Structure 1
């Protein structure tokens, strides 16, 4: 009987403690990894959102300057969170494959419009009726986004561009037509089929500074791999010795899941010091 009574007391005590725990006071507050900026673009005649990741310890009044990684498809519900996480992880002191960096995610409104030049293909025109406006979007990045970031954040001169799929197509167009906009290009599974592969007929504009160009593709079929190999060979033929060029085929990934491994590999190859690569 006494044992039953003690067991009953233990149950009552447990219930009482649980009730007390449920009444614990708590406080919540927003969790932030950076800032959201809405710019009024005079070039595009619309508001555009930039999502900005700031490195741990970033001090707007300090003297430390940071490289900037510009990310196409940079909306919160697209690639901004994932790539910012890779940048944070890669810049940890015990990982150290890239320096602490600012990430600028350029949010989309209509990526089919902004990431493509006018196509002569009737199929492209029918499937992408709003397409063909990459020129003003590139000018927006060059004349409005980059100056805004440089004027309002502690930036160094090193600028990197990341683009995948249609974003990779736009990154390729910038590399060919206005290469000095960025120092490093990370181009993943670009949609080189656009406009009947007309990009292959263009000759990239020359540049004098050092460039790092990383291109990658997943296992997306023989035609995609051949297109990327052709793209790589074209860049190799035009290399005047001031370019570090990398090409990676990810056999176990496809178009949908190649991004993260490719970006991590790009960071290792582009930023990691030579003595760390051994």
Structure 2
């Protein structure tokens, strides 16, 4: 009898001093994790409780069996009723006070959880081999953490990101709409030449078009962030990839459908990283 292993799966929890609670997580490793002692690149994901709904078991198994994708560890951080407090931008909460715990969440990820993974699960010691992704508000959180901690990451990926997150209510008297927090965060932040970014939006992400320019807000917000990154020095194409899914919605089926393409971008064997 020959044993065939599709993947290795582990569920656990981590007691965070910063969050004052246990954070549940799921770790999936490729079959080669059983052999040898080499370190692995890592995909960290917010909203890890959506693992099953996203169909990630099948998607990760296929990626592990692909000759075009480097083996990697998947780690999904689950959230709970604290989601609207933990996810956001660490520099400031939004104008309604949401994301007021994002700084503590960031400290949990960067100072507690990443060192834990490196120590216990042969996660790569090189930040350039770490990718952080998320959907919607979880995507905003992932982008914020990667952009502001480039020593710990090489890539960020955001599916239908909540880049509308703002310091004050939208005003037509502010045509540049600089109240969106990520814009000034990028403008005032440092340029890290090794970072690269992957953004996805669906043409049916929403119906709102607050400035009446014929483009839905989620696409507008993402493209405006991309422009800000380009002004900072990041190149498109090159360091910035933008994927617009025709008919794509702000939902798990859309993100699941595009996830295999994201994995090829993140862990391609031809990638310089």
Aligned twin of 1:3: none
Greater helix proportion: 1
Q: CA RMSD in A?
A: 2.6
Deviation, structure 1 residue 55: 1.1
Match among 80, 85, 91 for residue 113 of structure 1: 85
Aligned twin of 2:245: 250
Deviation, structure 1 residue 201: 2.1
Cα 1:204–1:265, aligned 2, differ >3 Å: closer, same or farther? farther
C-alpha distance in 2, partners of 1:259/1:204? Answer: 31
**What are the ranges of 5 or more consecutive residues in structure 1 without an aligned counterpart?**
1-30
Structure 1 consecutive aligned stretches of length 4 or more whose deviation exceeds 4 Å: 240-243
Give the match's secondary structure for 1:140.
helix
Indicate conservation of the 8 Å contact 2:9/2:28, yes or no: yes
In the alignment, structure 1 residue 264 sits paired with structure 2 residue 255: no
In the alignment, structure 1 residue 56 sits paired with structure 2 residue 39: no
Single out whichever of 256-265 and 146-155 deviates more from structure 2. 256-265
Match among 50, 61, 70 for residue 88 of structure 1: 61
C-alpha distance in 2, partners of 1:84/1:101? Answer: 14
Deviation, structure 1 residue 234: 1.2
Deviation, structure 1 residue 119: 3.6
Once the two structures are superposed, residues 108-147 of structure 1 have per-residue CA deviations (whole angstroms, 9 ceiling, x without a partner) of 12211110244452xx34xx5xx41111101100011110
Query: How many corresponding residue pairs?
Result: 234
Cα 1:261–1:82, aligned 2, differ >3 Å: closer, same or farther? same
Match among 179, 194, 205 for residue 165 of structure 2: 194
In the alignment, structure 1 residue 47 sits paired with structure 2 residue 22: yes
The TM-score normalised by the length of structure 2 is 0.76
Greater relative CO (CA pairs within 8 A, separation 6+): 2
Deviation, structure 1 residue 273: 4.2
What pairs with 1:142-161 in structure 2 (closer than 5 Å)? Answer: 142-156=110-124, 157=126, 158-161=129-132
Indicate conservation of the 8 Å contact 1:212/1:270, yes or no: no
